[in-house]
Amino acid sequence: MNVLGIETSCDETGVAVYDTATGLRAHALYSQVALHAEYGGVVPELASRDHVRKLLPLVRKTLADAGMSVSDLDGVAYTAGPGLVGALLVGAGVARALAWALDVPAIGVHHMEGHLLAPLLEEDPAQGRPEPPFVALLVSGGHTQLVHVEAIGRYRLLGETLDDAAGEAFDKTAKMMGLPYPGGPQLAALAERGRPGAFRFSRPMTDRPGLDFSFSGLKTQVLLAWKDSDQEDDTRADIARGFEDAVVETLAIKCGRALDATGCDTLVVAGGVGANTRLRARLQAMAAERGGRASFPRPAFCTDNGAMIAFAGALRLQAGQHDDASVKVAPRWDMASLQSVGG
């Protein structure tokens, strides 16, 4: 079954084709970072208009890269939420129109389920694909959640951020220290030059039971340290390293608690912050110490992309699930409300 996946939830236009028999056939991604950089953040109206300009050319390119035409498609999957409503409607409208014209089924995919399943998208040569039950850490600019995955489509929220998501805290901290947009990757790169232990910040909410997160206080600590420092380049790198270490260790502690609470030995990690090399190394080491494993998508599939939507949609379409012909999106959407794959 060849499924076209379309992702337009925010500021990246992603398209992919996934074959349920052979795997990922092609994918393409266009990022709007340069468009939004002068504003210091995403402008929803500009994002929607850019999706309109870029989506159809990307569909054509992806099909050409896969050696396919539209008539070879057996289904269409698109991000239906959560996300920016205007951006979501662009992808949903194109997907529904294409499915109607081809007389093939279409399905709206939950954006975070796409991220959650991204580590299963490609086979791990050494360990194979992780199988439920497992614990998933979804960590991005908009979300920081721990989820018990009992089966595909059956999710139980264990804990989430009470304020800033981890990626949001990276971006805001970078902006406070004068780094250019988007700040998170810039801060992580700067931290590579920082001295470990030169600045030590708290590991928020790890001194009490529970699996929720909070990063706003950590951000404030960094701001105070930055204002009291000499603000030289080396100091900026040291503060960046201290901040990154605090976030990574906090996430590792909470992930260990989640594995204990569920009795699982497998952790999957997805979302933009999942590309952070220090976080990947720390969680892999933590899982190995427990006799388990930590699985990640390749870095290109940590950020928003069409491949994860094509894969998640293919699983549901293959199970016989599909939506009606109306164009519907859900800017807010509880993942616990999703239907289980396979009943």
Alpha helices by DSSP H, listed for 118-213, are: 166-176, 183-191
Let me know: does 280 contact 305? Beta carbons within 8 Å: no
**75-81 and 106-110: which strand pairing?**
parallel
Q: Is 91 annotated as a binding residue?
A: no
Q: How far apart are CA 199 and CA 330, in angstroms?
A: 42
Whether 256 has a binding-site annotation, put simply, is no
Q: Is 135 annotated as a binding residue?
A: no
Distance CA(233)–CA(227), nearest Å, equals 14
With contact defined as beta carbons under 8 Å apart, do 2 and 69 qualify?
A: no
Tell me if 211 is assigned to a ligand binding site.
no
Q: With residue 270 as reference, give the H or E element that holds it.
A: strand 266-270
291: annotated binding-site residue?
Answer: no
179: DSSP letter: P
Q: Provide φ and ψ at 224, rounded to 5°.
A: -65, -40
Question: Does 153 appear as a known binding residue?
Answer: no
Backbone dihedral region for residue 321 (phi beyond 0: left; psi -120 to 50: alpha; all else: beta): beta
138 has binding-site annotation: yes
Starting at the edge strand found earlier in the chain, the sheet holding 293-295 runs 154-160, 144-151, 134-139, 266-270, 293-295
- A 10 A CB-CB count for 282 gives 18
Distance between CA atoms of residues 183 and 167, nearest Å: 9
How many CA atoms does the CB half-sphere of 36 hold within 13 Å? 20
Q: Rounded to whole angstroms, how far apart are CA atoms 55 and 114?
A: 19
Torsion of CA 278, 279, 283, 286, to 10 degrees: 50
329 has binding-site annotation? no
> Is there a binding annotation on residue 139?
yes
Report the C-alpha gap between 169 and 11 in whole angstroms: 19
Is residue 252 within 8 Å of 259, Cβ to Cβ? Answer: no
Feature table: binding site for Fe cation: 111, 115, 304
Feature table: binding site for substrate: 138-142, 171, 184, 276
Feature table: binding site: 111, 115, 138-142, 171, 184, 276, 304
